[in-house]
Structure 1
Amino acid sequence: MTDNKELHRPRIVVIGNEKGGSGKSTTTMHLVVSLMKDGFTVGTIDLDARQGTLSRYLENRTRFAEKSKDVVLLPKHRRVFRSEAANKATSEEEDKDNLELAMHELWDRDFIIFDTPGSDNYLSRLGHSYADILITPLNDSFLDMDMLAKVEIEEKELKLTPSTYSQMVWEQRQQRAMQRKRPIDWIVMRNRLSHIDAKNKRDMGVLLEHLSKRLQFRLSPGFGERVIFRELFPKGLTLLDLGSDGAGVSMSMSHVAARQEVRTLVKAIGLTKDEPAI
Structure 2
Amino acid sequence: MSSTRPHRIVFANEKGGTGKSTTAVHVAVALAYRGARVAAIDLDPRQRTLHRYFENRAETAQRRGITLPTARCEVFHGSTIEELDALFAELSDDVDFIIVDTPGRDDVFARHAAVEADTLVTPLNDSFVDFDLIGQVDAETFKVRRLSFYAELIWETRKKRALERRQEIDWVVVRNRTGHVEARNMIRIEKALGELSKRAGFRVASGLSERVIYRELFPSGLTLLDKGHLGELGTSHLVARQELRGLVQGLNLPAGAKRTLELEPA
- The equivalent residue for 1:90 is none
- For the 8 Å contact 2:142–2:192, the answer to whether it is kept is no
| Aligned-residue offset at 1:269 | 1.0
**Residue aligned with 2:165, SS:** coil
| More off after superposition, 188-197 vs 128-137 | 188-197
| Aligned-residue offset at 1:177 | 1.6
- The equivalent residue for 2:226 is 241
- Residues 39 and 198 (structure 1 numbering): CA distance in 2 closer, same or farther, change over 3 Å? same
- The equivalent residue for 2:127 is 141
- Residues 26 and 100 (structure 1 numbering): CA distance in 2 closer, same or farther, change over 3 Å? same
Q: Distance in 1 between matches of 2:54 and 2:188?
A: 37
Q: Give the number of aligned pairs.
A: 257
- The equivalent residue for 1:132 is 118
Query: Which of the residues 12, 17, 22 maps onto 1:16?
Result: 12
| Aligned-residue offset at 1:25 | 0.5
Query: Which of the residues 65, 71, 86 maps onto 1:69?
Result: 65
- The equivalent residue for 1:174 is 159
Q: Which amino acid aligns with 2:71?
A: P
- For the 8 Å contact 1:153–1:159, the answer to whether it is kept is no
| Aligned-residue offset at 1:119 | 0.7
| Aligned-residue offset at 1:226 | 0.3
Q: Distance in 1 between matches of 2:27 and 2:252?
A: 11
The CA deviation string for residues 142-166 of structure 1, in whole angstroms up to 9 with x for no partner, is 1110111122348x68442211211
| Aligned-residue offset at 1:263 | 0.5
| Aligned-residue offset at 1:138 | 0.6
Q: Distance in 2 between matches of 1:158 and 1:165?
A: 18
Query: Which of the residues 231, 241, 252 maps onto 2:216?
Result: 231
- For the 8 Å contact 1:49–1:55, the answer to whether it is kept is no
Q: Distance in 1 between matches of 2:216 and 2:224?
A: 10
- Residues 106 and 196 (structure 1 numbering): CA distance in 2 closer, same or farther, change over 3 Å? closer
| More off after superposition, 143-152 vs 267-276 | 267-276
Query: Which of the residues 180, 186, 195 maps onto 1:201?
Result: 186
Q: Distance in 1 between matches of 2:224 and 2:96?
A: 22
Q: Distance in 2 between matches of 1:138 and 1:237?
A: 23
| Runs of 5+ unmatched residues, structure 2 | 262-266
Q: Distance in 1 between matches of 2:78 and 2:133?
A: 23
- The equivalent residue for 1:88 is none
- For the 8 Å contact 2:170–2:202, the answer to whether it is kept is yes
TM-score, scaled relative to structure 2: 0.90
- For the 8 Å contact 1:50–1:81, the answer to whether it is kept is no
**Residue aligned with 1:172, SS:** helix
**Residue aligned with 2:121, SS:** strand
- The equivalent residue for 1:86 is none
| Runs of 5+ unmatched residues, structure 1 | 84-93
Residue 255 (structure 2) pairs with residue 270 (structure 1) = no
**Residue aligned with 2:225, SS:** helix
- The equivalent residue for 1:91 is none
| Aligned-residue offset at 1:9 | 1.3
- Residues 163 and 275 (structure 1 numbering): CA distance in 2 closer, same or farther, change over 3 Å? farther
**Residue aligned with 2:193, SS:** helix
The CA deviation string for residues 88-120 of structure 1, in whole angstroms up to 9 with x for no partner, is xxxxxx2x1221121111112100010011111
Q: Distance in 2 between matches of 1:33 and 1:161?
A: 37
- For the 8 Å contact 1:24–1:137, the answer to whether it is kept is yes
**Residue aligned with 2:246, SS:** helix
- Residues 215 and 164 (structure 1 numbering): CA distance in 2 closer, same or farther, change over 3 Å? same
Q: Which amino acid aligns with 1:113?
A: I
**Residue aligned with 1:135, SS:** strand
Q: CA RMSD in A?
A: 2.0
TM-score, scaled relative to structure 1: 0.87
Query: Which of the residues 217, 220, 236 maps onto 2:202?
Result: 217
Q: Which amino acid aligns with 1:132?
A: D
- The equivalent residue for 1:184 is 169
Q: Distance in 2 between matches of 1:6 and 1:42?
A: 12
